[in-house]
Amino acid sequence: MGTRHDLYFMLHLPDAIAKAIVCHQRQLNASYRGPSKPMDPDRLHTTLVPLGSYEQRIPLEVLRVARKSGALLDEAPFRVCFDTLQSRGQQRELGTVELAGHGQGVQPLYRLRRQLVDALRQAGWPPECIRQSFYPHITLDYRHEPVGVRRIKPLTWEVTEVQLVDSHYGEGRHEVLARWPLQDRQPSLFD
């Protein structure tokens, strides 16, 4: 059994947002003595489209189609906002803790994801292999007691690029395979 590779399109978080999230993680665990498996700050992200798990290595054809899809993106930078700390899963068991957003704060993520899904289909990705559900969130901890739902001071930032990532499962490492900067489509009147 070799290394598992999880492939997905994602948004990496700016350093300032990752630092703010680490503060939330510390506050969350300040009086908690139970098990915890927090996400490393450099791996905090929002998954847009998962593209499957692969043993040993990701097939070259899969990478070709994924890269072709990313190159079809035509989206301008936009702002997102996450404002809720919450648990996911059974509320009596250890599970994930995540940041979530609602309404207008995450609406542009749905548009970007739809564009990625359309690009995948256009590039030849099997439609049945595209997960239909999407819930914008940032996983903070994989093994924590339930925290309920807590509103936090909104964390807002500008999304400027999409990344294709090979997550080396169990190694705690993201390998960025490709990046696509989001570009303003309208030229400035003052250039």
- Classify 4-181 by CATH class: alpha beta
Which structure tokens are listed for 113?
């994801």
* Per-residue pLDDT at 36 exceeds 80: no
Of 16, 48, 60, 70, the closest CA to residue 138 belongs to 48
In degrees rounded to 5, what are phi and psi of residue 119?
-65, -40
By the 10 Å C-beta count (0-12 exposed, 13-18 middle, 19+ buried), 115 is classed as middle
170 pLDDT above the threshold of 90:
no
Q: DSSP label at 82?
A: E
Both tokens of 37, joined, read 């498996």
Give the per-residue pLDDT at 177: 97
pLDDT digits (tens, 9 = 90+) for 60-81: 999 999 999 999 999 999 999 9
Predicted local distance difference test score (pLDDT) of residue 189: 53
Give me 174's structure tokens: 């993201």
pLDDT for residue 14: 94
pLDDT of residue 1: 56
pLDDT of residue 186: 60
Instruction: Return mean pLDDT, the chain.
Output: 89
Taking the mean position of all CA atoms in its chain, how far away is CA 108? 14
Contact 83, 151 (CB under 8 A): yes
Closest to 168 in 3D by CA, of 14, 40, 48, 19? 40
SS3 135: coil
Residue with tokens 């509103």: 151
Give the pLDDT confidence score for residue 188 in this predicted structure: 52
- Ranges 83-87, 144-148, 186-190, most confident: 83-87
What local confidence, expressed as pLDDT, does residue 110 receive?
A: 96
Q: Are 179 and 161 in contact (CB under 8 A)?
A: yes
Average confidence (pLDDT) over 157-171: 93
* pLDDT given at position 146: 78
Residue scoring higher pLDDT (138 or 93): 138
CA distance 73 to 123: 12
Position 150 pLDDT exceeds 60: yes
pLDDT at residue 73, rounded to an integer: 94
* Residue 71 burial (10 A CB sphere; 0-12, 13-18, 19+): exposed
Percentage of the chain exceeding pLDDT 90: 65
Residue labelled with tokens 């930032």 = 157
Assign 28 a pLDDT band (cuts: 50, 70, 90): confident
pLDDT in tens, 84-128: 999 886 666 778 889 999 889 999 999 999 999 999 999 999 999
